């Protein structure tokens, strides 16, 4: 018997743009790296467009990327999601206890002789993801409402806890363990500015679009007519952000390939362990596929822009700490894109989607 659309494997239902996403992202990374390497004047011009420490081109790209996804969220259904205590407790524990501790352990284990890179990676581990995770979650058919809730909570914790955790993992804990310590002077206002630019603006835009659109034309028109037109812009924004990001850092990355390889190893281990472990834990406590994959992506991703800004502000643009922050998205983007496809494949192992994904 022929499968219905609803029964067809999810990956086959992706649009051409989504299905070949790794190709487009690979091309965007290559364009950005080559631009930064061979036409540094373009990178310099992009880098000059800032408001404080916030890159306007990157903020614009993230706005275009996140707005269509946040416009899809049914905000009237967020309340019940926020009351899922199992998901909330697990996500908070993964993001603010396990994630930073795992990156600290991997950085010391794999980079014991490179203190600057080690410090940079620890900073990456402290910056929990509040932007691109929304795209990865949406592509993997995660729970949009759950993603909105978890990202919002991470943003609040980021403002309150980032500096404190930086002191703990870079100064206090190394001292207790007899390791070399490093200070981190970062302003909560700098973190709040990053959160506001990269999450607050697109979240407000998405919320207002749904409220106004549904009030004027109804939910059917909003979801069946407007959202399909907005949808492709999320990936256009993602590709633009990647090109700009890698153009800004292309010369630095390509000039030190061996150092990039050393930094990449703990990052790959971190993303794999966090994502797989989070998905398994979420399934073990009884969450369905959609919320399990949301928990996994929100736990595995990092706020690369904040990590880079903090590293540059505290240690300088040419520091090893800044290079480690720059390498973060170079590794995170392709790894998490790959995990989107792993997630779609893994749907068959969840009771709530086993029938839907059966061959």
Domain boundaries defined on the chain: 52-235+251-344
Fold classified for 52-235+251-344: Na+/H+ antiporter like fold (1.20.1530)
pLDDT digits (tens, 9 = 90+) for 111-169: 998 999 999 999 999 988 877 788 889 889 999 889 888 988 888 888 778 888 888 99
pLDDT-based confidence at 18, cuts 50/70/90?
A: low
- The residue-averaged pLDDT of 191-207 equals 78
Number of H helices, E strands in the chain: 19, 2
Among the ranges given (20-24, 104-108, 290-294), the one the predictor scored with the smallest mean pLDDT: 20-24
The closest of 212, 85, 213, 72 to 148, measured between CA atoms, is 72
* pLDDT one-digit tens code per residue, 211-243: 999 999 999 999 899 988 988 888 888 888 888
Encode pLDDT of 58-72 as tens digits: 788 878 887 887 888
Assess whether pLDDT exceeds 80 at residue 183: no
pTM score > 0.95 for this model? no
Phi and psi at residue 12, to the nearest 5° = -75, -20
Residue whose tokens read 């109804």? 218
pLDDT at 28 over 80: yes
Mean pLDDT of 180-186: 73
Cα dihedral 11→276→272→195 (10° resolution): 80
CA 45 to chain centre: 26
């Amino acid at each position: 018997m022929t499968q219905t659309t609803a029964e067809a494997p999810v990956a086959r239902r992706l649009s051409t743009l989504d299905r070949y996403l790794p190709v487009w992202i690979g091309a965007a990374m290559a364009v950005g790296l080559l631009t930064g390497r061979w036409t540094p004047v373009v990178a310099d011009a992009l880098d000059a467009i800032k408001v404080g420490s916030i890159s306007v081109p990157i903020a614009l790209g993230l706005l275009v990327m996140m707005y269509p996804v946040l416009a899809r969220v049914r905000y009237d259904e967020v309340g019940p999601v926020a009351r899922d205590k199992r998901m909330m407790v697990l996500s908070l524990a993964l993001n603010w206890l396990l994630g930073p501790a795992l990156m600290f352990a991997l950085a010391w284990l794999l980079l014991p002789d490179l203190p600057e890179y080690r410090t940079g990676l620890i900073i990456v581990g402290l910056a929990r993801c509040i932007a691109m995770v929304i795209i990865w979650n949406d592509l993997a058919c995660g729970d949009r409402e759950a993603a909105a809730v978890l990202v919002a909570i991470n943003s609040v914790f980021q403002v309150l806890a980032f500096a404190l955790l930086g002191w703990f993992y870079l100064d206090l804990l190394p001292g207790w363990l007899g390791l070399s310590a490093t200070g981190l002077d970062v302003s909560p206002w700098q973190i709040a500015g990053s959160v506001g630019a990269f999450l607050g603006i697109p979240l407000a835009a998405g919320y207002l679009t749904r409220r106004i659109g549904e009030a004027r034309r109804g939910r059917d028109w909003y979801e069946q007519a407007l959202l399909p037109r907005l949808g492709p812009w999320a990936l256009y924004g993602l590709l633009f952000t990647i090109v700009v990001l890698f153009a800004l850092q292309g010369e630095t990355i390509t000039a030190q390939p061996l150092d990039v390889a050393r930094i990449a190893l703990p990052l790959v281990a971190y993303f794999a362990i966090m994502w797989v472990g989070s998905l398994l834990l979420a399934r073990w406590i009884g969450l369905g596929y959609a919320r399990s994959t949301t928990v996994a992506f929100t736990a595995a991703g990092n706020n690369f822009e904040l990590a880079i800004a903090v590293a540059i502000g505290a240690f300088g643009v040419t520091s090893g700490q800044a290079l480690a922050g720059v390498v973060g998205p170079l590794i995170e983007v392709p790894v998490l894109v790959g995990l989107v496809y792993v997630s779609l494949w893994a749907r068959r192992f969840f009771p709530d989607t086993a029938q839907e994904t059966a061959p």
